[in-house]
Amino acid sequence: MKNEEFGILIVDDEPAVRDALQSWFQKDGYCTETASDVIDALKKLSVKSYDIVLLDIKMPNISGIELQKRIKEVDADIVIIMITAYASVETAVEALKEGAFDYVTKPIDPDDLSKLVRRAIEQLKLKKENIQLRRQIDEFIMSEDLVGESPQIKKILELINTVSKTDVTVLIRGESGTGKELVARLIHANSSRKYFSLVPVNCGALPETLLESELFGHEKGAFTGAAYMRKGKLEMANGGILFLDEVGMISIKTQVDLLRVLETKKFMRLGGHKEISVDFRVVCATNQNLERLMKEGTFREDFYYRINVFQIDTPPLRERQADIPLLAKHFVDKYAREINKKIDNISSEAMDVLMKHDWPGNVRELENAIERAIVVTKGSVIKPDDLPLQMNQQKSAPAAGDSLEAQEKAHILYVLHQAGWNITKAAKTLGIDRVTLYNKIKKYG
Amino acid sequence: MAEKVTSMPSTIHLALIHHPNPEAVEFISSRISHVFKIPVKLQHASFDPRIAFDSRRQQYDSTVLLAELLKEIQNKEDKIIGLTDVDLFIPVLTFVFGEAQLNGNAAIASYYRLRNAFYGLPDNPDLVLHRLEKEVIHEMGHTFNLIHCPNYRCVMQASTSVDEIDLKTGNFCPTCLEKIRQE
Ligand SMILES: [Zn+2]
Ligand SMILES: [Zn+2]
């Protein structure tokens, strides 16, 4: 399809902006028209159908959000791009939630504008050229692990659906175990960048110098031990999404370096002199109070505002108790299938225990508890005794006898407890594989 | 809207606005006459570019400069391209390399952001010269009613960064060349 087959309507009350953008898009060959106010815009939209509307968020007499709603009423398929002043980015984010495709801030970087419109056109082309494909694109890819019927989960899915279609930076906040990485993976799976990688970096796991080399890569001989050139995560994320987990743990120096990359989309490998251009989207996650870190001076304000454009909060499990039965059932099915055991239910007493627990480790803790129960249970129904000890307060740990078996059992219990009943982690600590650990847990009950 | 140009221009005016490099001017001038097969007349712009200066942005409004350039030509069939070293912008965008009236008479190109120094890289005068050549021919192409071309080697390919300018050549692809002939 040629550009002239696409219609663009520019709605702005400033003549200079209208003329400049019209001339810009005409040179790209698009069929371009302008409207100076709401009535003009709605009139034009009623006679002709447009593919893209560039909409100034600040119009006299009406809010850009309101106008966007009216346009969507006329034509729900229209791609709306908001033009906003830097000061009203918040409103633009609100517009995204209402279904805008994306937004640009004035003055607009020409490169951003052309990339954005190209992305919109690509999406329109796919829609126009193949209705079949359109169904697939519109179909929201779900994760089996993000289970729930609570309003909180529905809200999160809605936010993921909205934000995944844009290119804005997302900050995911929530306690550990609430599924922040899962949210990042869903954003990726539902975005136009899904054919490129999601590259996770655990920023809390590495000291400053190692994190820098992990992110930026290095040239041969950049430092002692750098025997080969190595590409960093920034390069690997090209085209895709860079997922910075535990972003609050990044040192001030690395924050400065990263900020520069996020702003220029260019960087150099450690010890290198050649600038490398990259195009990736950034999704961050944290369980820390970044605002407090800012006050304490360990988190930069400019970096904070750069990464916190669109925020998604993953609620702790205790705040969405209603989801516990569904989640528990989901994990029962998952692990019963995995170890080929026929278990189809959770007894109401066991469910009672699950509902009463306050889940400091959140969904991950629940998943670990169910996995453990599936391994130890003797029947086809999970009973309170199958659940980890700390949930059944009435049951106290057995004193270890002197036999080797008793010592082993006590030690396994101890390690399992330390690992929060995460079997993979415990097996690793014990230096045995998961299956062996399963068997031992079964043997000792 | 630019008015329709009906016949081939007899002259392309190359107007220097604040432009200090004589070798560059000579090269650009010979390239324009070679590509468009129209004589080029070299002149200094008679206006002061400071009228287009925006002190808040520390940049020059290219639309204002285009309007001034238009006043420099008497013959309605002629075209004029301004060559400058100041940083150009149009109010809604952060910057432009140049601007032109589509199917009109005036265009402007700046080498301010074509220089390697702008990006903190070592100077490369030869590279800058070729970027400027491409930018000038590109903007002139717009005045001949050419729109952006999907051919990545064609000078009418849209470029919003110097990397993109470096990728394309300084020549028209066969399709664009044919369109110019028809004009
Ligand atoms: Zn152009
Ligand atoms: Zn071409």
pLDDT attached to residue B23:
80
Chains A, B: CB contacts within 8 A come to 56
- In this structure, of A218-232, A271-285, A398-412, B136-150, the range with the lowest mean pLDDT score is A398-412
Q: How far is the CA of A169 from the centre of ligand 1 (A)?
A: 30
pLDDT (average), residues B128-142: 95
pLDDT confidence tier of residue B5, bands split at 50, 70 and 90: very low
Contacts for A166 with CB less than 8 Å, ≥ 6 apart: A96, A101, A102
Q: How far is the CA of B173 from the centre of ligand 2 (A)?
A: 4
pLDDT confidence tier of residue A135, bands split at 50, 70 and 90: very low
pLDDT (average), residues B127-147: 95
pLDDT attached to residue B112:
93
Chain B touched by A21 (CB under 8 Å)? yes
pLDDT attached to residue B84:
94
- What domains sit in chain A, N to C, each tagged with a CATH number? 3-134 (3.40.50.2300), 145-314 (3.40.50.300), 318-392 (1.10.8.60), 404-443 (1.10.10)
Long-range contacts, A297-301 (Cβ 8 Å, 24+): A298/A252, A299/A248, A299/A252, A299/A255, A300/A252, A300/A255, A300/A256, A300/A259
Q: What is the pLDDT of residues A167-213, one digit of tens each?
A: 899 999 999 889 999 899 899 988 888 878 889 999 988 888 889 99
- Of A110 and A401, the structure prediction assigns the larger pLDDT to A110
Q: What is the pLDDT of residues A77-127, one digit of tens each?
A: 889 999 987 667 778 888 888 888 888 888 999 988 988 898 888 878 776
How far is it, in rounded angstroms, from Cα A102 to Cα A118? 12
pLDDT attached to residue A392:
62
- In this structure, of A1-5, A159-163, A215-219, B111-115, the range with the lowest mean pLDDT score is A1-5
Total residues found in chain B within this entry: 183
Which among A56-70, A175-189, A388-402 has the top mean pLDDT?
A175-189
Residue with tokens 């402007």: B108
Catalytic residue at B26? no
Chain B interface test: which of A2, A4, A23, A265 (most B C-beta within 10 Å): A23
Chain B touched by A187 (CB under 8 Å)? no
The class that CATH gives domain B12-147 is: alpha beta
pLDDT confidence tier of residue B120, bands split at 50, 70 and 90: confident
Phi, psi for residue B42 in degrees, rounded to 5? -90, 135
Q: What is the pLDDT of residues B16-40, one digit of tens each?
A: 998 667 788 999 999 999 999 999 9
Tokens in use for B175?
């399709």
Chain A interface test: which of B58, B92, B149, B152 (most A C-beta within 10 Å): B92
pLDDT confidence tier of residue A131, bands split at 50, 70 and 90: very low
pLDDT attached to residue B20:
67
How far is it, in rounded angstroms, from Cα B95 to Cα B102? 19
Give the single-character DSSP code of A375.
H
Alpha helices in A297-422 (DSSP H): 301-307, 324-338, 348-356, 362-376, 404-418
- Of B157 and B183, the structure prediction assigns the larger pLDDT to B157
CB interface of B with A, residues 48-77, below 8 Å: 57, 63
Q: How far is the CA of B91 from the centre of ligand 1 (A)?
A: 17
Percent of chain A with pLDDT over 90: 31
Over 80: is that where the pLDDT of A274 sits?
A: yes
Q: Give Cα A315 to chain centroid, integer Å.
A: 14
- Of B89 and A336, the structure prediction assigns the larger pLDDT to B89
Residue of chain A whose alpha carbon sits nearest to that of B142: A27
pLDDT (average), residues A339-359: 87
Chain A touched by B95 (CB under 8 Å)? yes
- Of A67 and B30, the structure prediction assigns the larger pLDDT to B30
Which among A75-79, A438-442, B113-117 has the top mean pLDDT?
B113-117
Chain B touched by A274 (CB under 8 Å)? no
How far away is chain A from the Cα of B160, in angstroms, using its nearest Cα? 5
- Of A396 and A102, the structure prediction assigns the larger pLDDT to A102
pLDDT confidence tier of residue B7, bands split at 50, 70 and 90: low
Total Cβ atoms within 10 A of residue B74: 6
Percent of chain B with pLDDT over 70: 95
pLDDT attached to residue A405:
77
pLDDT (average), residues A362-371: 90
Strand order in the sheet with B79-84: B40-44, B12-17, B79-84, B106-110, B98-100
8 A C-beta contact, residue B147 and residue A26: yes
Residue with tokens 């001949």: B144
pLDDT attached to residue A80:
92
Long-range contacts, A63-72 (Cβ 8 Å, 24+): A63/A91, A64/A91, A64/A95, A65/A91, A65/A94, A65/A95, A65/A98, A67/A11, A67/A38, A67/A41, A68/A95, A68/A98, A68/A99, A68/A100, A69/A98, A70/A38, A70/A42, A71/A41, A71/A42, A71/A45, A72/A98, A72/A99
pLDDT attached to residue A130:
55
Taking an 8 Å cut-off on Cβ atoms, the answer to whether A110 and B102 are in contact is no
pLDDT confidence tier of residue A129, bands split at 50, 70 and 90: low
Taking an 8 Å cut-off on Cβ atoms, the answer to whether A108 and B163 are in contact is no
- Of A134 and A331, the structure prediction assigns the larger pLDDT to A331
pLDDT attached to residue A307:
93
Contacts of B95 in chain A (CB under 8 A): 110
Nearest Cβ partner for B91 among A28, A107, A275: A107
pLDDT confidence tier of residue A2, bands split at 50, 70 and 90: confident
Nearest Cβ partner for A114 among B89, B147, B160: B160
pLDDT attached to residue A439:
79
Over 50: is that where the pLDDT of B4 sits?
A: no
Chain A touched by B1 (CB under 8 Å)? no
Chain A touched by B31 (CB under 8 Å)? no
Residue with tokens 């019963």: A336
Over 60: is that where the pLDDT of A398 sits?
A: no
8 A C-beta contact, residue A268 and residue A276: yes
The mean pLDDT of chain B is: 90
The number of the ligand nearest the C-alpha atom of B136 reads 1
Chain A touched by B46 (CB under 8 Å)? no
Catalytic pick from B72, B135, B139, B183?
B139
Q: How far is the CA of A210 from the centre of ligand 1 (A)?
A: 44
Taking an 8 Å cut-off on Cβ atoms, the answer to whether B92 and A107 are in contact is yes
Which among A183-197, A354-368, B9-23, B77-91 has the top mean pLDDT?
B77-91
Domain ranges of chain B: 12-147
Taking an 8 Å cut-off on Cβ atoms, the answer to whether B161 and A16 are in contact is no
pLDDT confidence tier of residue B65, bands split at 50, 70 and 90: very high
Give the single-character DSSP code of B2.
P
pLDDT confidence tier of residue A128, bands split at 50, 70 and 90: low
Q: How far is the CA of A42 from the centre of ligand 2 (A)?
A: 36
8 A C-beta contact, residue A361 and residue A174: no
Over 70: is that where the pLDDT of B170 sits?
A: yes
